Structure 1
Amino acid sequence: MAILKGAEPFLLYGSEKGVLLIHGFTGSPAEMVLLGKHLNACGYTVLAPRLSGHGTTPEEMEVTNWANWYNSVRDGYHLLKGICTSISVIGLSMGGLLAIKLAIDNNIDRVVALSSPIYIMNKAVRFIPAPKDCKGRYVPKKRRQIQGVDSIYTVAYNKMPLTSVHSLLALIRHIAKHLPDLQRPFLVVQSKNDHTVKYHSAAYIYRSAGSKEKELFWLENSGHLVTLDTEKEIVFAKIVEFLDKDRSNPI
């Protein structure tokens, strides 16, 4: 299956300090490009994999589930592990949940969750049909065009498979249950103006995480895609500050 233009994974070489970037549900690595370039300019090696079923067609996504998406993350982690001595992980939206999962299961330095869901704004998810009735069914997914941001950074599907929504909800339940198992240094970033994820999600994630070192950082004006929106430079600076905390040697 052909990959959509702009949805390709990317690798930016820097130092032996690696950062794995994980995009969101129905999205693509495109939404992580600006953050990746910023981190690379700060000396980090950056890898952003394309999650299974993403960046091609919604029909291909329909036959995948969160275990497949997580396997894409694990593949990226092991690739990066082959060229870096330490790895931190940053995920946007659903990608933040997968980042948490990776940090629970592996020796990750630091983990960042951006706009990650526990509570979803769209009330329609409560009335989604049973999984057996969802095959071949899709619902539109609108994504706000961010002023001043080229569309090459917002490559994503305009509809989502209902079977995939079920899998996303299963992932949310899994992470909510296992948040106390997270022990790595942890940064949660959330905008109060997010219209996709209820901002109370961030407080739940922060409160439930088992990490001794953790921080909750609020934004006021951004929407859901904090890697692209009006406060992106603030987000990038906060992430670098967080990642730099345990640099024992300069890059």
Structure 2
Amino acid sequence: MPVLAGAEPFRHTGSTETGVLLCHGFTGTPATMRPWGEYLADAGYTVSCPRLPGHGTTWQECNRTEWTDWYACVEAEFHRLAQECESVFVFGLSMGGTLTLRLAEQLGDAVAGIALVNPSVLTTRLDAKFLPLLSRVLPSAKGLAGDIARPGVTELAYDRTPVRAAHSLGKLWTLVRRDLAKVTQPLLLAHSAVDHVVEPVNARIVAEGVSSTHIEKVVLHDSFHVATLDNDAPLLFERSADFVRAVRQVRAR
């Protein structure tokens, strides 16, 4: 299956001390994370952003994948980074944040720290209740991509939402919410003041559910959902690099 131009995974080999795994969102692509990755690479870190199965091609292919495929992809890349770097952090946007939380729940102290940007663990949309039924009869629905406040910026993502894949995402949400207390790693939690895709309650549920003692919260006042491409991206990138340095200093003591 041909990959959309710009949707390719990317990798930068830097320090053997610190690696950062970036996880993009549902129906999105690594392009959404590339500016963040470039910033972290310039800071000297080893950076990797895989393309999740079923993403960056067609929404029809995405419908042939499940959350276990997406998780297996990021878990495999995490272990590759862990073979090269002393400490590995995981950063995720939207569903990428969901996958990041699952990695933290499953891998424990192997994950040095996590950064979440508008992470999703549920939705309050009424139509979501019908996903189990709709996934059997409706191939796709209106797309969710492109929620960006900055004029002239677009997101490389599907213009349709694959319904069967969305139903699988809901199953992942259930597991992640159930095990939030297993998250003990240092956490940077950033959420947009206005987000038309992921409801604000998601960030609150994450903050209240994890067991992390080191939690930094950042409110992005001038960005919508895709904050990595939006007006607050420089702030987000700077705070994430500061977060890595602070955690590394504590671990070195």
Is TM > 0.5 for Structure 1 vs Structure 2? yes
Amino acid in structure 1 at the alignment position of 2:127? A
Which residue pairs with 1:13 in the alignment?
13
**1:81 partner SS:** helix
Q: Which of 138, 142, 146 is the aligned partner of 1:144?
A: 146
Mapped pair 1:127 → 2:126: no
| Paired residues of 2:228 and 2:236 also in contact (CA < 8 A) | yes
Moved more, 119-128 or 47-56: 119-128
Look up the match of 1:105.
106
Q: Deviations over 1:47-75 (max 9, x none)?
A: 00011111111111111110100001012
Runs of 4+ in 1 over 4 A off after TM superposition: 148-151
Counting aligned pairs with the same residue, the percent is 34
Structure 2 counterpart of 1:243: 244
Q: 1:114 aligns with which of 117, 126, 133?
A: 117
Deviations 1:53-99 (A, max 9, x none): 11111111111110100001012112212221210000000000101
- CA–CA distance in structure 2, aligned partners of residues 197 and 94 of structure 1: 10
Query: What SS class does the counterpart of residue 189 from structure 2 fall into?
Result: strand
Cα distance in 2, alignment partners of residues 142 and 94 from structure 1: 12
Q: What SS class does the counterpart of residue 19 from structure 2 fall into? A: strand
> Does the CA contact (< 8 Å) of 1:121 and 1:195 recur in 2?
no
CA distance in 2, matches of 1:99, 1:231: 21
| Alignment check: 8 A CA contact 1:221 1:230 kept | yes
Q: 1:149 to 1:85 in 2, by over 3 A?
A: farther
Residue type of the alignment partner of 2:2: A
Within 5 A, what are the aligned runs for 1:113-192?
113-120=116-123, 122-130=125-133, 133-134=136-137, 137-144=139-146, 146=148, 147=150, 151=154, 154-192=155-193
Q: In structure 2, what residue type is equivalent to 1:5?
A: A
Cα gap change, 1:234 to 1:161, in 2 (>3 Å)? same
* Deviation readout 1:181-236 (Å, 9 max, x if unpaired): 11111111101201111112101100100112222221222100111111111111
State the Cα deviation string for residues 1-55 of structure 1 (Å, max 9, x = none).
1111111000012101100000000101000000000011111110000111111
Give the SS at the match of 1:19: strand
C-alpha distance in 2 between matches for 1:171 and 1:142: 18
Contact 2:153 2:229 in 1 (8 A): no
Report the count of equivalent residues.
247
**CA separation of 1:49/1:149 partners in 2, compared to 1, >3 Å: closer, same or farther?**
farther
- The superposition leaves residues 130-167 of structure 1 with CA deviations (integer Å, 9 ceiling, x where unpaired) of 26624x6111204337445654xx21111122111111
Q: Distance in 2 between matches of 1:198 and 1:150?
A: 22
The aligned counterpart of 1:4 is: 4
The CA distance in 2 between the partners of 1:229 and 1:122, in whole Å, is: 24
Which structure has more helix as a fraction of its residues? 2
SS in 2 for 1:190: strand
Structure 1: which 5+ runs fail to align?
A: none
